[in-house]
Amino acid sequence: MIGSVVTIILFRKWLKKVIWTKRSSSEIEDEFIGKTGIAETFIGPGHDGKVQFKGSTWNASSEDAIEKGENLIITGNQSIKLIVRSTKNLK
């Protein structure tokens, strides 16, 4: 038991880095930006909606009118809100 306590004390800083590392904002952006999702509700100018992305529902806003069920692309984020565009406008 004493060996375990000594080990934890000696390796505490290293363990904190390994276990509780925060990802940089560029890593987070890489995870979202340019990826596609599906609109769960209508999203449009002045009307935020919901997006299905990576198995989760996210709040989203857009300058495009995006209907429910339409594919979209993520162009940015504001904290936990995704900024999206319609894939129709990209063609």
Domain boundaries, the chain: 23-90
Per-residue pLDDT, 54: 86
| Under 8 Å between Cβ of 63 and 75 | no
Tokens representing 61 are 């806003």
Exposure on the CB side of residue 86, measured as CA atoms within 13 A: 15
| Under 8 Å between Cβ of 17 and 25 | no
CATH superfamily of 23-90: Nucleic acid-binding proteins (2.40.50.140)
Tell me the pTM: 0.66
pLDDT tens per residue across span 43-69: 999 899 999 998 899 999 999 899 999
| Under 8 Å between Cβ of 62 and 44 | yes
pLDDT tens per residue across span 8-41: 788 887 777 767 655 545 555 677 889 999 999 9
